[in-house]
Amino acid sequence: MSTATGGTAGDWDAIVVGSGIGGLVCAGYLVAAGRRVLVLEQHDVAGGNSHVFRRRRAYEFDVGVHYLGDCGPGGLLPSILGGLGLGERVRFHPMDPDGFDRIVLPSVTVDVPVGWPRYLDRLRQALPAEAEGLTRYIEICEAVARTCRTNATSAPGGKLPAVMLRWSRRTLTQLFDHCGLSARARTVLAAQSGNYGSAPASTLVVAHTMMIDDYLRGAYYPEGGGQTVAAALVELLESHGGTLLTKTRVGRVLVEHGRVAGVELTDGTEFRAPVVVSNADYRRTVLELCGGNENLPDAVVDRARDARMRLPTAVCYVALDRELPEQPNSNIWYWPNEDVEGAYARVEAGDLDELPFAFLSFASIKDPVPGSCCPPGHTNFQIMTACPPGYRHWGLDEGPARGARYRRDEAYLAAKNRLTDQMLDLAEAAIGPFREHLVHLETSTPVTQERYTLSTGGSAYGLQSWGRTGQRPDVRTGIEGLFLTGQNIHHGGGIVGVATSGAACASAILDRAVLPEVCRGAIYGNPELLPDRGADWDPLRVSRGAKRRDARGLAKLDHVAPAGS
């Protein structure tokens, strides 16, 4: 047996498959607790949906970090990073507290501010005829969110309040019905559903309220872009004795006598450890990496096979040779139709003749680091929308995870180009004409997402239903020593959610209440071990891992000032 690090069998206490933020957070807490940890990533850079890519030596685009909630002092993500000793390594810049999200419908516009009371005031001002129903809705959501946060950050115990017993397994549509809200009000309230990728009828009240509660505590953007979060976690991992290997794909999880024994790479190399954490797609973990029925009960395999994913998304990356006039530091959610339920139903049925929404995220306005994502005087922004599940819309029979070649397929390119034009049309309807100032345009489809992350169907948001609507697996599995983290477990949902999942997974392995401890100020990591950051510090380079840090092919930006420490 060979190992890529030159070690022998049993050299690792834990192996993490996948280097998304959930996997890196879990690995960070394990290595900070003294465990020998190996992280394996099939892509050439760590970070999952937090990573960036660069074009023309001028533009840097965030793949999935558009904005983060609750990143002020004492916030959830800063507490998780702070518990690793990274509190000074990642800085978050606040977006406009008076309106971090602008929701635009044909007949009404709502600027979403920080704070539940101010949010309710804005809603009642915009929809005065529905003030009573909106008040009831906000009271329920705020109570649910408060309970969820208390449960996540405190030691377990105590009875659930009545509001949770009533609403924890009900959908957003059922809550809308209970409050007697119109189609227009429902669209305003669910306009930000693109943050989790499912319709109100397929979304638990808990999932929606956890998302909106994070942002109502303040919306932020990481200074220097999303890659800075992953890079800080890689620095923590490596400085505490762990190892990250990129461009290293796991073929299967080794299971012997009912418990984990390590992993085997696609090239036959084996690494052995008594603990394996899968930050990979849940369905691929069960059906492929773990061998399905060979190692797991039929019921578990059947449930994974029948599970449905949240809707995938497409993102259009745009660069302009001018700045946008008078654009505030906020996102835009543009809904051309005021029926959110109908819009999602059409997408789920495979109809994209009319896009459900366009989400516009302006990185060059959010990031205070000069020139971090585009040259001075230019604009860098993204347009996102939801797409149908499966491959039919793209003219394909299967995806790249199974080896499908698609990038020059005529049907695929036709569908992609048509979608790009549609997204540009919606964006111009939201902010005015800009096509004549385009200097870079590139679209990522769900097929692209699958290629880079191996997620089922290219969904960035994980499972929609696992047995029943909204249900998801926990961090533990039916195999001793195998644990889960990431978008597919019940903590997951966006960057903050997967970071929480990583802390929860580490808690199960270490048998410690990690999240409550760090929220009270506990620090596992040793900041003194972290490396100095020189004037040429580059988070993308760091995220390649020590063994590939100086490999050829690293894209750079000509105009960027040195990052420094």
Is 354 strand, coil or helix?
A: coil
Is 517 strand, coil or helix?
A: helix
Cα four-point dihedral sign 460, 466, 468, 474: negative
Question: What pLDDT was estimated at residue 26?
Answer: 98
Tokens of 97: 């507290």
Fold held by 14-91+224-306+463-548? FAD/NAD(P)-binding domain (3.50.50)
Cα four-point dihedral sign 221, 224, 225, 229: negative
Instruction: Identify the segments of the chain with pLDDT beneath 70.
Output: 1-10, 155-158, 559-565
Q: Whole-angstrom distance between the N-terminal and C-terminal Cα of the chain?
A: 41
Of the candidates 220, 191, 223, the one whose C-alpha atom is nearest the C-alpha of residue 330 is 220
Type of residue at 110: V
Is 252 strand, coil or helix?
A: strand
Give the angle subtended at the CA of 47 by the CAs of 43 and 49, to the nearest 5°.
90
Residue recorded with tokens 């990250």: 244
In the beta sheet, which residues pair with residue 384?
315, 359
- Full DSSP string of 176-234: HHHHT--HHHHHHHTGGGGGTT--GGGSBHHHHHHHHHHHHT-EEEETT-THHHHHHHH
Residue 10 · residue 272 · CB < 8 Å? yes
Domain definitions of the chain by residue range? 14-91+224-306+463-548, 113-217, 311-460
Q: What is the pTM of this model?
A: 0.94
Question: What pLDDT was estimated at residue 162?
Answer: 85
Kindly report the number of other CB atoms within 10 A of residue 438's CB atom. Answer: 12
Tens digits of residue pLDDT in 293-330: 999 999 999 999 999 999 999 999 999 999 998 889 99
Phi then psi for 516, rounded to 5 degrees? Answer: -60, -35
Phi then psi for 444, rounded to 5 degrees? Answer: -105, 125
Of the candidates 216, 219, 220, the one whose C-alpha atom is nearest the C-alpha of residue 115 is 216
Residue 527 CA from chain centroid, whole number:
26
Tokens of 291: 């061998």
Residue 391 · residue 397 · CB < 8 Å? yes
